[in-house]
């Protein structure tokens, strides 16, 4: 007989998946072995050789099988269950980063949520834990098979994946709690995406709908008098019945037209507000947020959330309201006409709601793994479609088709088992529904047979009871659709409600256009917050296990956007410095190059200068003004940026060249565009089939990589900026084209336009720039030491004073003369021999 589980087990994974294999242990060697430095809650200190902690009772030990290089897991084990001799495995195939498991079975609590139910172990020949965690995905990750058992006793543990907010409710209380949360999400949708105009039209629609439905049901009410009049041969009753029905038809037609018009306006207002507000919430986030939170703040999540919000609005405002009004009107008229039948139908409604909650809760619980697997297969399929070249060149078409078909059939078979069960339950629910309806009609027929009711009563009884039954089914279907849409909407809500960073101050300074601008970086440093999941060692996991509930909740929330209130309730995160104490100045009209190895912080400086984010220390001064005190729009409207990866819009060459921030009408002569294109070698030869109106395709697919980049340089030049930021702009060009583009770029920059050119290819900037900054790697630097290693006006000077530059120059084979090389202004007529000095 298995004893109760009188132990505490917490496992935290902070890196990629690992395998944990419990194994039987003789009574004389009851240890928990950890191959990494870690911390046992009630045991000895950590040591490099591993930990061995004596158990207080005979039983089993857990031995984590971990990847030593990954240093990726922590295990805390205090006590042991007395299960005798047993064996088992832990299946962590689906366990990913930022996932956490924690259980306290003996106290009937969960380490991460105080709601964990322990099932009676005597009924399961072992310990069966039924976790009940709120708002997160659940997976079966551990299955234990005792030696003395013929069947596997399944232990269902919980992992938390913060990237999926899909609900799995394992009790009625949890289901009702989730419905309450869904209501809060619906309120957010109402506040953000429903305008006063939409509410006004929706009210008109609902009033018109109520009148039209009442008029339609009035026809059934009048049918009673028509039938009774026909039986009694009462011509007056028959005429009045038909007259009343005609009036009802006219009222129904008129108000039905009004409700359709109001619905069209309401739906249009909703779609317009949804599109506008989603764009506002998406674009208001800083570029730094878009980069750092790309796992959530991405087009896929936003587009999916947008579609689900639209569905929710239609379900609640249109389909749901229509069904609810039909149900209310039919049931109310039934109470007035046949109270006894209305009582039976009310019982049917109550029982249907119970069935509804039961079935939808099972759908939410059982279908999540199926949905996850289908989405995984879809991602796999789309990735293979997008990378078709690799599949074809590896001759893997047959293998891909076979694997995808096999995997799909497997999950389809598992899903079919559930839906067959669901169909069986729905069939019994349908029987109960129809038998109640049939019983209600039988009761009405019996009362008519007994002479208590007139024959005409049967008509409204039949129509109202049928309408109630149909409306109940429709409302149940709508409730299921709402629940299924909520996770995507909740994810979009958590993402879009994150406050924007790098925003303008109330009295921000507006920069005016002039001939040049002075840019200064003064002791600038930048560090980003490390989430718990990003910590590279086990100490983070150990600290987490000893942390208070707020820290644990922070770990559970890691990876998803947090609100300001949540941020205020958790301890500050550790910071990882990526840029240290950098200071330099670029005078008006000066062209400066930022040189350094990959990872030295060049891109970080570019992002700070474009104000993707704000520095954590120091300041960036624009003509003496702190960039944080300047209107970001006015600064970006004065500069141009050429990214490393070309961002070409689907459209024409003209559209891409003239894309700019200003909203003013653009009237640029074609000759000016052609002149710019000739300078930068944006001619594309035979590709310009329609001149400036040649379409470049989605993502510029009709152009080569070099042509796309030249188009971006041309677009930046057409803005006529006073300062230009160029990030590895010629990295995708061949040597011949690079030289030609450099000539054109120097002409574009002229004498008054300043520039910061970021590169690791020294040939790009040798003759183009008059000032050079060299960044070194920040690793190993003292906290107050500058990452800017050297500033000079020539390569020869840098070669003497900068070890980092010397290494880069030697690696790239750049020839450095013994004496400083005077800088010669380059022009279109520069000879090929002059160029050879740069590329020697």
H-helix or E-strand spanning residue 491: helix 458-496
The pLDDT-based confidence of 435 (bands split at 50, 70, 90) is confident
Q: Does 262 reside within a domain?
A: yes
> Phi and psi (nearest 5°) for 570?
-120, 160
3-state secondary structure of 814: coil
The pLDDT-based confidence of 299 (bands split at 50, 70, 90) is confident
pLDDT digits (tens, 9 = 90+) for 644-659: 777 888 888 888 888 8
> In terms of Cα–Cα distance, which of 178, 183, 469, 476 is closest to 356?
476
* Cβ count near 222 (within 10 Å): 22
Which residue range forms the structural domain that includes residue 470?
A: 178-496
Distance CA 639, CA 387 (A): 36
133 and 280 inside one domain: no
Identify which has the larger pLDDT, 201 or 547. Answer: 201
144 and 216 inside one domain: no
249 and 297 inside one domain: yes
Q: What pLDDT score does 679 carry?
A: 78
Mean pLDDT of the chain: 70
Q: Does 487 reside within a domain?
A: yes
135 and 24 inside one domain: yes
Least confident of 84-98, 559-573, 626-640: 84-98
pLDDT digits (tens, 9 = 90+) for 248-268: 999 999 999 999 999 999 999
Distance CA 487, CA 591 (A): 50
Residue 63 pairs in a beta bridge with 21
Name the domain boundary from 112, 138, 162: 162
Q: What pLDDT score does 56 carry?
A: 30
Indicate if the pLDDT at residue 139 is higher than 70. Answer: no
Q: Does 182 reside within a domain?
A: yes
Q: Residues 500, 502, 505, 510: is their CA dihedral positive or negative?
A: negative
The pLDDT-based confidence of 172 (bands split at 50, 70, 90) is low
Q: Does 521 reside within a domain?
A: no
Q: Give the strand order in the sheet containing 8-13.
A: 73-78, 8-13, 99-103
The pLDDT-based confidence of 211 (bands split at 50, 70, 90) is very high
Distance CA 510, CA 195 (A): 32
3-state secondary structure of 377: helix
Q: Residues 266, 267, 273, 274: is their CA dihedral positive or negative?
A: positive
Name the domain boundary from 444, 478, 496: 496
Tell me whether residue 546 is exposed, middle or buried, using C-beta atoms within 10 angstroms of its C-beta: 0 to 12, 13 to 18, 19 or more: exposed
H-helix or E-strand spanning residue 203: helix 196-232
Residues in the chain: 840
What's the gap between Cα 687 and its chain centre?
38
Report the CATH number at residue 353: 1.20.1560.10
Q: Calculate mean pLDDT across residues 35-40.
A: 30
Q: Does 210 reside within a domain?
A: yes
Q: Calculate mean pLDDT across residues 699-708.
A: 70
Distance CA 726, CA 741 (A): 13
Q: Where are the alpha helices (DSSP H) in 233-296?
A: 235-283, 287-292
Q: Are 460 and 333 spatial neighbours (Cβ–Cβ below 8 Å)? A: yes
Residue 199 pairs in a beta bridge with none
pLDDT digits (tens, 9 = 90+) for 369-426: 776 777 778 778 878 887 887 888 888 888 889 998 998 898 888 888 888 888 888 8
Q: What pLDDT score does 264 carry?
A: 92
Q: Calculate mean pLDDT across residues 44-70.
A: 31
39 and 109 inside one domain: yes
Q: Does 170 reside within a domain?
A: no
Q: What pLDDT score does 210 carry?
A: 93
Q: Are 80 and 55 spatial neighbours (Cβ–Cβ below 8 Å)? A: yes
Pairing of the two strands 591-595 and 31-34: unpaired
- Residue 371, C-beta contacts closer than 8 angstroms, at least 6 positions apart: 166
68 and 108 inside one domain: yes
Structural domains of the chain, count = 2
Residue 575 pairs in a beta bridge with 529
Q: What pLDDT score does 33 carry?
A: 31
H-helix or E-strand spanning residue 772: strand 771-775
DSSP, residue by residue, 139-169: ---EEEEETT-SS-EEE------TT------
Indicate if the pLDDT at residue 205 is higher than 90. Answer: yes
The pLDDT-based confidence of 239 (bands split at 50, 70, 90) is very high
Tokens 């350094």 locate to: 596
Q: Calculate mean pLDDT across residues 630-642.
A: 89
In 550-687, which ranges are E strands?
575-586, 591-595, 617-622, 625-626, 639-642
139 and 238 inside one domain: no
Q: What pLDDT score does 100 carry?
A: 32
Distance CA 737, CA 722 (A): 25
> Phi and psi (nearest 5°) for 34?
-120, 120
Tokens 């060692």 locate to: 537
Q: Are 112 and 102 spatial neighbours (Cβ–Cβ below 8 Å)? A: yes
- Residue 103, C-beta contacts closer than 8 angstroms, at least 6 positions apart: 8, 9, 10, 110, 111, 116, 129, 131, 157, 158
Distance CA 753, CA 738 (A): 21
Task: List C-alpha distances in Å: 551 to 485, 531, 565, 688, 809.
Answer: 30, 11, 14, 59, 48
SS (H, E, C) 534-594: HCCCCHHHHHHHCCCHHHHHHHHHCCCCCCHHHHHHCCCCCEEEEEEEEEEEECCCCEEEE
Q: Where are the alpha helices (DSSP H) in 681-734?
A: 705-718
129 and 230 inside one domain: no
Least confident of 364-378, 408-422, 498-512, 751-765: 364-378
129 and 251 inside one domain: no
Residue 811: HSE in the Cβ half-sphere, 13 Å Cα cutoff: 11
Indicate if the pLDDT at residue 8 is higher than 80. Answer: no
Identify which has the larger pLDDT, 557 or 487. Answer: 487
Counting residues of the chain whose pLDDT is more than 70, the rounded percentage is 68
Identify which has the larger pLDDT, 698 or 464. Answer: 464
The pLDDT-based confidence of 368 (bands split at 50, 70, 90) is low
153 and 189 inside one domain: no
Q: Calculate mean pLDDT across residues 231-246.
A: 91
Tokens 């132990």 locate to: 7
Q: Does 840 reside within a domain?
A: no
Name the domain boundary from 496, 513, 532: 496
Least confident of 87-101, 173-187, 321-335, 383-397: 87-101
Q: Calculate mean pLDDT across residues 635-639.
A: 89
Distance CA 631, CA 638 (A): 11
Identify which has the larger pLDDT, 435 or 258. Answer: 258
399 and 270 inside one domain: yes
Task: List C-alpha distances in Å: 172 to 57, 103, 169, 364.
Answer: 37, 21, 8, 13
Q: Are 193 and 496 spatial neighbours (Cβ–Cβ below 8 Å)? A: no
* Cβ count near 828 (within 10 Å): 10
Q: Does 579 reside within a domain?
A: no
Distance CA 656, CA 275 (A): 24
323 and 390 inside one domain: yes
Tell me whether residue 431 is exposed, middle or buried, using C-beta atoms within 10 angstroms of its C-beta: 0 to 12, 13 to 18, 19 or more: exposed
Q: Residues 93, 94, 95, 101: is their CA dihedral positive or negative?
A: negative
Pairing of the two strands 754-759 and 591-595: parallel
SS (H, E, C) 472-483: HHHHHHHHHHHH
């Amino acid at each position: 007989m298995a004893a109760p589980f009188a132990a505490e087990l917490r496992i935290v994974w902070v890196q990629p998946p690992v395998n944990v294999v419990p194994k039987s242990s003789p009574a004389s060697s009851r240890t928990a072995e950890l191959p990494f430095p870690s911390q046992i809650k009630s045991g000895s200190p950590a040591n490099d050789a591993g930990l061995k902690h004596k158990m207080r009772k005979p039983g089993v030990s857990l031995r984590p099988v971990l990847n030593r290089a990954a240093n990726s897991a922590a295990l805390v084990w205090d006590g042991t269950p007395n299960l005798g001799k047993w064996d088992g495995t832990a299946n962590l195939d689906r366990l990913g980063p930022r996932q956490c498991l924690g259980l306290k079975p003996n106290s009937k609590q969960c380490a991460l949520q105080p709601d964990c139910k322990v099932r009676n172990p005597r009924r399961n020949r072992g310990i069966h834990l039924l976790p009940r965690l709120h708002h997160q995905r659940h997976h079966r990750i551990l299955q234990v098979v005792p030696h003395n058992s013929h069947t596997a006793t399944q232990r269902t543990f919980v992992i938390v994946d913060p990237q999926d907010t899909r609900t799995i409710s394992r009790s009625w209380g949890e289901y009702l709690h989730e419905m309450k949360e869904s209501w809060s999400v619906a309120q957010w949708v109402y506040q953000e995406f429903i305008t006063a105009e939409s509410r006004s039209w929706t009210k008109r629609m609902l009033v018109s709908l109520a009148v039209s439905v009442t008029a339609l049901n009035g026809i059934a009410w009048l049918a009673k008098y028509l039938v009774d009049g026909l039986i009694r041969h009462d011509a007056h009753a028959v005429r009045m019945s038909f007259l009343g029905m005609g009036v009802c038809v006219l009222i129904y037609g008129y108000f039905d037209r009004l409700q359709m018009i109001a619905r069209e306006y309401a739906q249009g207002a909703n779609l317009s507000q949804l599109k506008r507000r989603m764009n506002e919430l998406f674009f208001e986030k800083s570029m730094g947020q878009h980069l750092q939170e790309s796992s959530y703040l991405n087009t896929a999540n936003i587009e999916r959330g947008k579609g689900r919000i639209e569905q929710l609005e239609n379900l609640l405002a249109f389909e749901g309201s229509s069904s609810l009004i039909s149900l209310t009107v039919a049931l109310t008229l039934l109470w007035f006409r046949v109270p006894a039948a209305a009582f039976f139908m009310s019982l049917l409604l109550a029982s249907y709601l119970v069935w509804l909650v039961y079935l939808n809760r099972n759908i939410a619980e059982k279908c999540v793994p199926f949905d996850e697997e289908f989405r995984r297969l879809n991602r796999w399929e789309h990735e293979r479609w997008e990378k078709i070249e690799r599949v074809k060149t590896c001759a893997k078409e047959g293998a891909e088709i076979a694997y995808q078909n096999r995997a799909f059939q497997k999950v389809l078979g598992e899903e079919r088992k559930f839906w067959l069960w669901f169909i069986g339950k729905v069939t019994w629910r349908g029987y109960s529904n129809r038998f109640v309806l049939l019983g209600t009609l039988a009761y009405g027929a019996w009362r008519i047979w007994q002479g208590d009711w007139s024959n005409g009563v049967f008509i409204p009884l039949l129509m109202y009871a049928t309408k109630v039954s149909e409306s109940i089914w429709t409302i149940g279907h709508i409730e299921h659709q709402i629940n299924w849409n909520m996770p995507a909407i909740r994810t979009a809500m958590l993402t879009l409600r994150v406050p924007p960073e790098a925003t303008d101050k109330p009295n921000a300074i507006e920069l005016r256009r002039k001939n040049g601008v002075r840019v200064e970086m003064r002791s600038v440093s930048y560090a980003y917050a490390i989430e718990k999941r990003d910590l590279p060692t086990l100490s983070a996991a150990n600290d987490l296990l000893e942390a208070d509930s707020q820290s644990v909740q922070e770990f559970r929330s890691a990876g998803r956007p947090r609100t300001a209130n949540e941020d205020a309730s958790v301890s500050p995160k550790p910071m990882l410095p990526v840029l240290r104490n950098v200071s330099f100045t670029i005078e008006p009209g000066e062209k400066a190059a930022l040189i350094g190895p990959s990872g030295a912080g060049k891109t970080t400086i570019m992002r700070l200068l474009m104000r993707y984010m704000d520095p954590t220390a120091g300041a960036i001064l624009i003509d003496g003004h702190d960039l944080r005190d300047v209107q970001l729009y006015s600064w970006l409207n004065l500069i141009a940026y050429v990214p490393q990866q070309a961002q070409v819009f689907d459209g024409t060459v003209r559209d891409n060249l003239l894309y700019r921030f200003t909203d003013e009408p653009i009237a640029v002569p074609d000759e000016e565009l052609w002149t710019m294109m000739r300078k930068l070698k944006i001619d594309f030869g035979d590709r310009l089939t329609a001149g400036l109106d040649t379409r470049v395709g989605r993502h510029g697919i009709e152009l080569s990589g070099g042509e796309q980049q030249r188009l971006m340089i041309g677009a930046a030049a057409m803005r006529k900026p006073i300062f230009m930021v160029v990030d590895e702009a010629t990295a995708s060009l061949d040597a011949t084209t690079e030289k030609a583009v450099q000539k054109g770029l120097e002409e574009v920059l002229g004498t008054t336009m300043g520039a910061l050119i970021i590169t690791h290819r020294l040939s790009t900037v040798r003759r183009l720039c008059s000032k050079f900054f060299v960044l070194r790697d920040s690793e190993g630097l003292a906290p107050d030491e500058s990452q800017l290693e050297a500033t000079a006006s020539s390569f020869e000077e840098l070669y003497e004073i900068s070890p980092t530059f010397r290494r880069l120059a030697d690696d790239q084979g750049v020839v450095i003369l013994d004496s400083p090389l005077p800088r010669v202004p380059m022009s279109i007529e520069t000879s090929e021999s002059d160029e050879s000095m740069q590329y020697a």
